[in-house]
Amino acid sequence: RKEVEQDPGPFNVPEGATVAFNCTYSNSASQSFFWYRQDCRKEPKLLMSVYSSGNEDGRFTAQLNRASQYISLLIRDSKLSDSATYLCVVELPPGGYNKLIFGAGTRLAVHP
Amino acid sequence: EAQVTQNPRYLITVTGKKLTVTCSQNMNHEYMSWYRQDPGLGLRQIYYSMNVEVTDKGDVPEGYKVSRKEKRNFPLILESPSPNQTSLYFCASSSPGRLPYEQYFGPGTRLTVT
């Protein structure tokens, strides 16, 4: 079983739609969680962190469910510019910035 | 401008011909790392460095070497490249103690080994 699993998609949605991605992780002791965004053939960039209480940044909402070991990303009012691959990232114990595990990514395509 | 740079951006080479991919950051970050990205597998860590002269293996170190003689530079060396090292390579840097441990990535190096 992969340490971090994501549905590869693609998710094809019209502008204005709401779309949600899930990501599951295998190590229950994982401490920190993130979503990164990667445009085609470009470098990944941090989109947002995922906190136990959930967090929101504009149209983006991230949630963590430790009991079920999954994190989610919700995008409301999708824009064409949201088209990208979204990488789920988990920090493995014992913690520290040297062990981030990246999922293979979920591709989102927003169309007019 | 704060950035991570990699060179070359694209490289086609032949099996066995030694090559070096350079990585440099201007943010005074202690931590640097190399990843490779392959379809369906996500980013996998090759090597990382916690500071000057401190390096350690990641998940897929076989066939690679690194060095960290200066804080800003972290070159990736392929002593004898093979076709299975054809991949997209990213260098990244970050600073310890900064939540959420945001890693800054270079633009990537697309390597093809024939």
Interface subset of B 22-81, CB within 8 angstroms of A: 31, 33, 35, 40-45, 48, 50, 56
- A78 CA: distance to closest CA in chain B (Å): 24
The DSSP result for A33-86, as a single string, is EEEEEE-TTS--EEEEEE-TT-EEETTEEEEEETTTTEEEEEE-S--GGG-EEE
pLDDT in tens, B68-85: 999 999 999 999 999 999
pLDDT in tens, A43-98: 999 999 887 888 999 999 999 999 999 999 999 999 999 999 999 999 876 655 55
* Residue B15, token pair as written in the block: 């099996």
Q: Cβ contacts (< 8 Å) between B103 and chain A: which residues? A: 44, 46, 97, 100
For position B87, what pLDDT does the model report? Answer: 97
CB contact under 8 A, A102 and B42: yes
Q: Are B65 and B8 in contact (CB under 8 A)?
A: no
CB contact under 8 A, A97 and B94: yes
Task: Please state, in angstroms and rounded to a whole number, the distance separating the CA atoms of residues B78 and A50.
Answer: 36
Interface subset of B 74-113, CB within 8 angstroms of A: 88, 90, 94, 96, 99-103, 105-108
